[in-house]
Amino acid sequence: MCLTEPDLQSEDHYHVLGLKCSAADKDVSAAYKRLALKYHPDKNLDDRDHAELVFKRITHAYETLRDPMKRDAYDNACNSKSFSTPGNSNTSPGDLGSAERADELYRRFFGTGGFSSPPNINVAGIFNFEQKAQAKPVKVARKVATPEHFILPGSAVAIRGLANKPDLNGKSARVREWSAAKGRYEVALTCGALLSLRPRNITQLCFVQVSSHDNQPELTGRTGEIMDFNEETGCYVVLMEDPALVIELPPKNCVFGVGTAGVLEGLGDEQLSGKMCSIISIDHNASRYVVQCEGGRQLKVRFEKVVF
């Protein structure tokens, strides 16, 4: 990760978000989410005017760095010394865009009603805590024509593990469709380019619950959002909420929701390894999923034996 201490008074967009110039796209998104959750005006009612200014500064920096063309132009301008030296801020509030624009971007990320409606995530529904049929929003949202063990079209994913195109690793994309003939997902990058990728080369960007974390027990039971997968450490990169922080968690500590599609990995039965599956229930005490594989077979596996 390329996260440093944010400097919210800086004119340098990287410094505002707490990033190094080498930050990947996923780091830019993670930094924005982390800071937006913390400095949203509705969470700082004691000093709302200042919070709104900071929030717009965060949004302005993010909108520049998330767009490849804007980011290149910004980097080139910085390299040519046409921008002010970071830290000597003289930017006025009017230079940062409108509160409405900042609010629009916030709603797009968190699915909320804006400044008057802070994030309200139905964690019980996501993880099926109540064990009721109506508390399975993932299954209800699925189209009948989409098999349970496939990732739904439109789902957000991060690219991982591409040896021949390492520059694409960490990029965000959207699933378009599954090709049974190729055994691959067709995904669309934010720039519009299309790729055909195996299931093991994408990570779903969705919510998870932290399970029995020995080193950081205070995280147990908390909810976070998958931002990426670190191939070197074998861990998911997770954005935790309230307070917001970005950490890495091994698969055994990340509990995905009922209905999530995945791929079995590292099982003793070679005929099952590599099979696509979906979670039909969760045994938290045993740290195991009950999954249904393609073909209909059901089995119980440890959390870390399913790749999402």
Domain hosting 32: range is: 13-110
Within a domain: 22: yes
Q: Which residue has the higher pLDDT, 33 or 92?
A: 33
Q: How many domains would you assign to the chain?
A: 2
Tens-place pLDDT, residues 234-266: 888 887 766 666 788 899 999 998 889 888 888
Is the pLDDT at 171 greater than 70? The verdict is yes
Distance CA 302, CA 82 (A): 55
Distance CA 26, CA 50 (A): 27
Q: Name the E strands within 130-268.
A: 156-159, 172-179, 184-189, 194-197, 202-204, 207-210, 223-230, 235-240, 245-249, 254-256, 261-264
The last residue of one of the domains, among 110, 135, 165, is: 110
The last residue of one of the domains, among 89, 110, 131, is: 110
**pLDDT the model gives residue 1:** 44
Mean pLDDT of the chain: 75
Band the pLDDT of 130: cuts 50, 70, 90. Answer: very low
Is the pLDDT at 132 greater than 50? The verdict is no
The last residue of one of the domains, among 86, 110, 134, is: 110
Rg (CA), the chain: 21
Q: Which long-range contacts (CB under 8 A, 24 or more apart) does 277-281 make?
A: 277/149, 277/306, 278/148, 278/149, 279/306, 281/128
DSSP-derived letter for residue 275 is -
Is the pLDDT at 105 greater than 80? The verdict is no
Q: What is the pTM of this model?
A: 0.58
